[in-house]
Amino acid sequence: MRITAASDLATVALAVAGALRKAGIRAVLTGGACAAIHTAGGYTSEDVDFILQSTPSVQRLDEAMASVGFHRRRDQYFHAQSTFFVEFPPGPLGIGRDLAVKPISKRIGASRVAVRTLSATDSCRDRLAAFYHWADRQSLDVAVLIALRNRVDMRRIATWSAREGATEEYRRFVRELARARGRTRGRAS
């Protein structure tokens, strides 16, 4: 897959995931790029984050990324044609204190290739973690958007939120989600 100046975030994520897979590097798409995919572009991110689930050498990772035109500058990878950059935040794969996160394989757009990514529920929890721990209002808005556009396991989110010590923040999420659903229904009438 070739990356050009017109490549969107999903195309970049697919290209990088394919290059990593071809190099035998296991990784999971997370963060804002994952949220952007679960919101079908309703949210946009400037970067593409993958958590490595294998331990490639820096040289092997550099080679995999170079195969799709990315070159490392310190801890980030940049492409001459793309506005998106790629990062590999330190693992393990987890959301808040939950380290038992199970990635899914998801097809993006019309591609036949699946990307290992967080489920919609886990992507929602990931955004909520930023809201819970850093009071990031934008992350709350994105969590609501993910829940509006996908089937998420609210019981699992509630249980996890309680374990994170964020019961009040979870209630705020539920209220915001109910408001957003009300606005959506109002426009459909």
Task: CATH number of the domain at 64, please.
Answer: 3.30.460
Instruction: Return the number of other C-beta atoms located less than 10 Å from residue 71's C-beta.
Output: 12
Q: Which domain holds residue 173?
A: 120-188
* Residues 127 and 171 both lie in one domain: yes
b/e per residue 5-21 (b: at least 16 CB within 10 A): eebebbbbbbbbbbbbb
In the block, tokens 């934008």 appear at: 138
CA distance 151 to 162: 21
pLDDT in tens, 109-152: 777 878 999 999 999 999 999 999 999 999 999 999 999 999 99
Asked if 16 and 7 touch (Cβ cutoff 8 Å), the reply is no
pLDDT-derived band at 185 (thresholds 50, 70, 90) equals low
Asked if 23 and 63 touch (Cβ cutoff 8 Å), the reply is yes
Given this model, what pLDDT does residue 1 score? Answer: 74
> Would 141 be classed as within a structural domain?
yes
Write down the pTM of the prediction: 0.93
SS3 166: coil
> Would 2 be classed as within a structural domain?
no
| Mean pLDDT (the chain, rounded) | 95
Which residues, in sequence order, are bridge partners of residue 27? 52
* Residues 31 and 109 both lie in one domain: yes
Given this model, what pLDDT does residue 104 score? Answer: 97
Which pair of tokens denotes residue 170? Answer: 């979870």
Q: Helix, strand, coil proportions of the chain in percent (round to 5)? A: 50, 15, 35
Q: What is the largest CA-CA distance in the chain?
A: 56
Q: Work out how many domains the chain is built from and give that number.
A: 2
